[in-house]
Structure formats: structure tokens, C-alpha cells
A and B are shown apart, each in its own frame.
Chain A
Amino acid sequence: MRKDSTTSRSQSTPQRGAPGGNQCLLPRVIALVAVGAIFGPLGLPAQKSKPREFEVKATYLYNFARFVEWPTTAAAAKNDSFPICVLGQDPFGPALDTIVAGETIGGKAVLAKRVLKPQGAVSCRVLYISSSEETRLREVLAGLDKAAVLTVSDIPQFSQRGGMIQFVQESNKIRFEVNLASAEDAGLTLSSELLKVAVLVRKNSQPGD
């Protein structure tokens, strides 16, 4: 999504300068072109390769939040900030912090938080459950106790196991499944726009698994 913005920038600079082809301006134009050619690629952090998987996922975490409505009674609603939390071993590195930096949702500043225990995640808006927690997933979900927290994870069959949004890989693309019933149980409202782009939307809660 953000790729190659630097390339287009370095091309557009000389194009903008050229039509002013006045004799006395010409040296300055050349200088500008040179400066653009040198600093253009350096002006922004270079991201030549495709965004790495977890950068995309970090962006998705933020974007999921924008399509969800939390109940006003939610514990998280009392916060002044809008925490997006990571439980377990953090796969994002600094990417999540970078992406949410300066963003707001519903007037509240988005910030990334790391939590150690599910109990500590009750006041989060979004909780990413790291694959490291796969073995004790049941505990984690139980610990949240249907708190109004949007749970997201890479853990296989997460959406079948009571999680709300599960990342899936589909032909080199990151997509997701939604368990609408889990979200509704937690009092969350997911926008139809979000459901529209989901690979799969599970509507019935599937107890026992």
C-alpha cells in the first residue's frame, strides 16, 4: 500500500520544474532536479520490498478497529486512549507502534500496548493474541470473559474456537475470517463493510470446540 512512493516523487520533481524553462531560471531548475534526484529517495524511509507480513497485519489491526462499534458500557470506553494490545510474544516489532502513532479513532489517540495476562487485556479495544499463546487459547478467551474486546489472531481455527477475527493466507495475500457470533456475544458491532471483505463470516456460535 505504501510502496514506491519515493520513486514517483523523484520522477515528479523534474517534471514540475521543466515547464518554467526561462533562461535565467534554468540553472536553478537543474539544481532542483539534482537535489530532487539525490534527496528524493532519501527523503522518506525506503521500503523497496513488499511490506512485510506483520506490517500489513499491524495496519489491519488498526483498520479493523475503524469498522467496529464498541458498547458504551465497555470497560475500554472509559479510557481516554484507544489501546491496541498484543498478548504473548510480539511479532510486530516496532511496526505496530509506528503505524498507530498519531492516529485517532473516535477522538481517542490510538496506542499500542503489550499485555501479559488476559485479565490485563479487558481494558483493550483490540487484542492481538500471539501464536505463542496457542496452547492456552481457551484460558485466554475465558479470561476475557466476553469483555468488549475485539480479538484477532493468526492461530489456526481461531475463529472456530471463539476468537473473532482470524488472519488467513490466501494466494500470497493476507485476508481474514470473522466469527460474527463471538463479536456479537461480546457486544461488538462489526460493520457490514468489514464483513464484505472477509473470506468467511461465521454466524453461529460453535460451542464445544
Chain B
Amino acid sequence: MFRDYSISKKLTWMNMLVSGAALLLACGAFIAYDVISIRDGMVYNLSMQAQIVGFNSTSALLFNDPHSAENTLSGLKAWPNIVSAGINTLDGRAFATYQRGQSSQTPAMPPILAGQVETYRFNRSEVVLVRRIVFQDKPTGIVYIQSDLEGLKVRVAQYLGVAAAVLVSSLLAVVLISPVFRRAIGEPIVHLAGIARIVSRDKDYSVRAKPIGNRDELSVLVDDFNGMLSQIQERDTALQQAHDELEQRVEERTKELATTNKELEAFSYSVSHDLRAPLRSIDGFSQALLEDYSDKLDSAGRDHLERVRRAAQRMSVLIDDMLNLSRVTRSVMRREKLDLSAVAKSIAADLQEAEPGRRVEFVIESDLMAVGDSQLLRAAMENLLRNSWKYTSAHPCARIEFGKSQQNGKHPFFVRDDGAGFDPRYSDRLFGAFQRLHTATEFPGTGVGLATVQRIIHRHGGEIWAEGAVEKGATFYFTL
């Protein structure tokens, strides 16, 4: 296909086609013009000969001397193209004839119309010219001359030969000249295309197209292409530099942050850990006091000691939760596939076993799979379900669901209950550590559970959000 030819080939073909077409048209026009003028010339010559023959045959016609007319006609031998000629009387009778060969016949003559002196007719191989012989304004007879078209044919053949020669030689010239076009147009474009391919394939902006010496559009194109490459290269270098710098800075910061974080975690761990020893002492000695000196204490004293113990135990739970929370942040993630439905079912079973007196209906969608750290996800699920279990405790019978829904093109998992719910105005405080929307007397808790869940979900790159209303239950959505 022409479309798939290279530029150089296209240029060569275009040149050949254009010059070929132009030459064909020009040759055709010349030949047509020449044929017309040769025909005109033939008609003119025949007309002159007819006039001479006619004039010289007038007296022969008037004095009925065919022999003399034939003498006159035989002068036409000088023109070998004349096949036959003749003189007719006014009433159409043949008066004298001339034949070049033996077998020639009287040709079919076109009629001379009234008012015409002369007429002619061309057919494939000959032309016949008929002319009135007029002597002193009086028609005297008719002369006709029949000529073959050999001269015309030879001329046309010569022309066709010349035209073919010119055509062939000019096409040859085009083929010979085409390397010049190729060098001037084809090669720079091919070269440019090759460079562009290297650039786009290898992302190598250091290559450059070979500049052309002159000032044509191609040269400008090549220069601009090189200019663009230079700009891209500069920008690339600058970008790389900025990127490297940024990376280095990020690395430094990360290192700093990691150090700080580690210190902080170590600090909070050791604090939490170290806080337990005095707590155990407070609790232990309070217990010893209650057991060993209960007879020496009145009921108010015993009550105070009980309060001291409860506070100490509560603090211990708080410290455990804090340690858990920091563990969630610090532990190494191991991603694997796990069945969240099975996890939810086992937690639900545990919950029901712990408090068999409660009437809670669990609705758990089967075969919901997820990818993540199994320990962390189990902790998150346990927190969410335990949360629902806790906040439905005020209701005589409750329903807790786990499933997958569809929201704004996302497919979050959800845990839904019909328990106490929450005021949506404070929904942003739900996931803050140690932040609670209910008092400990209403629902016991440390306010660490949902914070833990949020951290686990975030560590998995997911999102968590909640919907709910007071006494209308709550729904926690999360993606992973």
C-alpha cells in the first residue's frame, strides 16, 4: 500500500506520478494540437490544389475536352498522398479522373451545400475535399481530391515515439534525481523519526538529531526538536535533583520520626509497665489491709479501701489497653487472606457464651473474605462486635449484623446494632483514644476500643466511619 511506503519512496512515487501526468497531458495536448493543425494544413493544401486543378480545367470543361482535364489532373502525381482526384460536370457526370493506383474507386463525396464553395470530410483513412469550379462567377463544374492520411499517421507515430521517449527519460531522470530529494527531505525526516523513537522508547533525552545546514522548515524542525530535547533534559535533571533532594529529606525526616516514635513508644511502654508495679502494691496492700485489719476498720474505712482497690484495678485495665494500643501500632503486619465471616461468627459465639442470659440475634453474612493481618483484623472485629454487644445491653432483646454494603461506589464491610447509638454531632469524637460519649456508669469502658479499630484499619490503608442516632443503634463501616 502507498500509505505504508517510506517518505523517500512516497516522494519518488509522487515525483514520478506528477511528472508523468504532466508529460502525458502536455504530450496529449501537443499531439492533439498538431493533429488539428496538420489536418487544417492538409485541407488548405488540398483546397489550393483543387483551386489550381479547377482553374486549369475550366476551358476543358467548357469546350468538352476531358483529355486536357486529365492532363491537368495528372499533375497531381507530384503529391504521392493524393489517392484520386476528378472533375465532374455540374450535373454530376464524371468528366475526368485521376487515380494514383489501379484499384482506387471514386470516393464517396460529401455534398456541397448551397452557398458553399468547398467542403471536406475526414474518415478513418482518408480525406475527401470537394470544390466548385467557378469561372467568371459562373459555376462550371466540380473538382474533388481524395488524399490518404499517411502523412498524418507518420507524424502522429513520430509524436508518440517522441512522447514515449520523453516520458521514459523523464521518469528515469526522476529516479536518478530522487536520491537528491531523499537526502534533502526523506533522510532528515527518517533520521528525526529514529531519534524520536529512541527518545520515547529509551527515555533518553541526551540524544540529538543531526542538524541540517540550510534554513528550510525541516532544518527549523530539527533545530526545534533538539531544543525541545534540551529543555526536557534540563527539566528532567532539575526534577531528578529535586526528587533526590526530597527523597533524602524524607528519609532524614522518617529516620528522625522513627527515632522519636521509638523513643516515645519505649517511653510510654516503660511508663505503662513501670506504673503497674506501684499499682499492684497499692492494690495488694489495700487487700492485705482489708483482710488483716478489717476488725479495726469501721464500715466507712472499709468502703474507702474498696474504692482505692477499684480505682487501682481500673487503672490497671487502662494501662493494659494502652499497651495494646501501642502494640497495634508497633507490631509487624503479615498480610494473608482470611474469612471475616468466620472470625465474626467465632467472636459472636464467645460473647454469647460469656453472657448466656442475653437475647441477642447475630446476623452474619457468609464468606466475606479480606486480605490483611489476621491478628489485627481479629482484634478490630472483636472490638467492633464487643462494642455493639455492650451498647445493646440496655435493651431486652437486640440484633447485631455483620455484612458488606455498597456506598458511593465503595463496598465497605459494616457492623450494625440496634443499641444505644450516639449523637451524630459527636461522631468525630468516636475514634479518639480515651474519648467517650457515654459515662462509665452507663456503659463501662476505657474509650480505647474504637481508637484501636481505627488504627488497625488505617494500617491496612482503609477507612472507617460511623452512622447512628441516639437510641436508634449505630453502624460502623470500614474498608480495607
Please list the residues of chain A having a beta carbon within 8 angstroms of any beta carbon in chain B.
1-5, 8, 56, 60, 63, 66-67, 105, 173-176, 191, 193-194, 196-197
Interface pair A196/B64, CB less than 8 Å apart? no
Pick the residue among B65, B91, B92, B135 that contacts A197 (CB under 8 A): B65
Residue on A nearest B141 in the bound complex, by CB: A1
Q: Is the CB of B68 within 8 A of A173?
A: no
A-B contact pairs, 24 of them (CB 8 A): A1-B91, A2-B91, A56-B64, A60-B62, A63-B62, A63-B63, A66-B62, A66-B136, A105-B136, A174-B64, A175-B63, A175-B65, A176-B63, A191-B59, A193-B56, A193-B58, A193-B59, A194-B59, A194-B63, A196-B59, A196-B68, A197-B59, A197-B65, A197-B68
Nearest chain-B residue to A6 (Cβ)? B91
Kindly state the separation between the CA atoms of A197 and B64 in the bound complex, as whole angstroms: 9
Q: Tell yes or no: B89 within 8 A of A by CB.
A: yes
In the complex, B282 has a CB within 8 A of chain A = no
| CB neighbors of A among B102-137 (8 A) | 135-136
Please, which residues of chain B bring their CB within 8 A of the CB of A196?
59-60, 68
Distance of A143 from chain B, by nearest CB (Å) = 28
The interface residues of chain A lying within 8 Å CB-to-CB of B89 are 1
Chain B residues near A174 (CB-CB < 8 A): 64
Given contacts A193-B58, A196-B68, A197-B60, 5 further A-B contacts (CB under 8 A): A2-B91, A63-B62, A66-B136, A191-B59, A193-B59
* Interface bits B53-78 vs A (CB < 8 Å: 1, else 0): 00010111011110010000000000
CA distance A105 to B138 in the complex (A): 11
State the CA gap A45–B79 with chains docked (Å): 43
**Shortest CB–CB separation between residue B428 and chain A, in angstroms?**
107
Most buried by A among B59, B64, B68: B59
Q: How many A-B residue pairs have CB under 8 A?
A: 39
Assuming the contacts A66-B136, A191-B59, asked whether A173 and B64 have C-beta atoms less than 8 A apart, the reply is yes
Please give, as numbers and ranges, the residues of chain A lying within 8 Å of B60 by CB-CB distance. Answer: 196-197
- On chain A, the residues within 8 Å of B136 by CB distance are 66, 105
Complex: A196 Cα to B92 Cα, angstroms = 24
A161 to chain B, nearest CB (A): 22
Given contacts A175-B65, A196-B68, contact A67 B59 (CB under 8 A): yes
In angstroms, Cα B58 to Cα A60, docked, is 13
Whether the Cβ atoms of A5 and B65 lie closer than 8 Å is: no
Closest to A173 in B: B64
Bound-state Cα–Cα, A10 to B68, Å: 33
Q: Which of A5, A60, A67, A173 contacts B91 (CB 8 A)?
A: A5
Q: Residues on B close to A: CB < 8 A?
A: 56, 58-60, 62-65, 68, 89-92, 135-136
How far, in whole Å, are A56 and B65 apart by their CA atoms in the complex?
A: 13
Q: Nearest chain-B residue to A56 (Cβ)?
A: B64
B59 and A4 contacting across the interface, CB-CB below 8 Å: no
Top 6 A-B pairs ranked by shortest CB distance?
Answer: A193-B59, A197-B65, A63-B62, A197-B63, A197-B59, A197-B68
Closest A residue to B137 by CB, please name it: A104
Q: In the complex, which residue of chain A has the Cβ closest to the Cβ of B69?
A: A197
Q: Which residues of B contact A4 (CB under 8 A)?
A: 91
Looking at the assembled complex, report how far the CB atom of A175 sits from the nearest CB atom of chain B, in whole angstroms. Answer: 7
Chain A residues within 8 Å of B59, by CB: 67, 191, 193-194, 196-197
How near does chain A come to B52, taking the closest CB pair, in angstroms? Answer: 12
* Max count, chain A CB within 10 A of own CB: residue among B56, B64, B90: B64
* Distance of A176 Cα from B59 Cα, bound (Å): 12
Q: In the assembled complex, which residues on chain B have CB atoms less than 8 Å from the CB atom of A67?
A: 59
- Rounded to whole angstroms, the CA-CA distance of A56 and B63 in the bound complex is 9
User: What's the nearest-Cβ distance from chain B to residue A126, in Å?
Assistant: 15
Residue of B nearest to A66 (CB): B136
Q: How far is the CB of A102 from chain B (nearest CB, A)?
A: 11
State A114–B136 Cα separation when bound (angstroms): 26
In contact, B68 and A66 (Cβ under 8 angstroms): no
Across-interface contacts of B135 in A (CB, < 8 A): 66
Contact residues in A for B63 (Cβ distance below 8 Å): 60, 63, 175-176, 194, 197
How many whole Å from B136's CB to the nearest CB in chain A? 6
CA A133 to CA B58, docked complex, whole Å: 32
The distance in angstroms between the C-alpha atoms of A205 and B397, with both chains bound, is 172
CB-CB under 8 A from A63, the residues of chain B are 62-63
Give bound CA distance, A1 to B65, whole Å: 12
Q: How far is the CB of A65 from chain B (nearest CB, A)?
A: 10
Distance in Å from the Cβ of B73 to the closest Cβ of chain A? 13
Which residues from chain B contact A8 at a C-beta distance below 8 Å?
91-92
Alpha-carbon distance between A176 and B58 when the two chains are bound, in angstroms: 16
Q: Which of B56, B62, B89 has the most CB of A within 10 A?
A: B62
Question: With the chains together, A191 CA to B135 CA distance in Å?
Answer: 13
- A194–B63 alpha-carbon span in the complex (Å): 9
CA distance A194 to B68 in the complex (A): 11
> Smallest Cβ distance from A149 to chain B, in angstroms?
20
A111 to chain B, nearest CB (A): 17
Closest Cβ–Cβ distance, residue A16 to chain B (whole Å): 11
Measured in the bound complex, the distance between the Cα atoms of B62 and A176 in whole Å is 12
List chain A residues, Cβ under 8 A from B56: 193
Q: Does A1 contact B64, Cβ atoms closer than 8 Å?
A: yes
A9 (CB) vs chain B CBs: closest residue: B91
Report the Cα distance A5→B89, complex, angstroms.
11
Query: Whole-angstrom distance from the CB of A20 to the nearest CB of chain B?
Result: 18
Q: Cβ of A66: which chain B residues have Cβ within 8 Å of it?
A: 62, 135-136
Determine the distance from Cα of A4 to Cα of B93 in the docked complex, in whole angstroms: 10
Closest B residue by C-beta to A174: B64
Residue among A1, A8, A105, A176 with the highest chain B CB neighbour number at 10 A: A1
A99 CB → nearest B CB, Å:
12
- Whole-angstrom CA separation of A132 from B68 in the bound complex: 33
Nearest-neighbor residue (CB-CB) of A60 within chain B = B63
Contacts of A176 in B (CB 8 A): 63
Question: Which residues of chain A are within 8 angstroms of B58 by Cβ–Cβ distance?
Answer: 193
Residue in A closest to B60 when the chains form the complex, CB atoms: A197
Please report the C-alpha to C-alpha distance between residue A111 and residue B89 in the assembled complex, in whole angstroms: 26
Bound: A193/B68 CA distance, A: 10
Chain A residues, Cβ within 8 Å of B68: 196-197
C-alpha spacing A2/B136, complex, angstroms: 19
| List of A residues within 8 angstroms of B92 by Cβ | 8
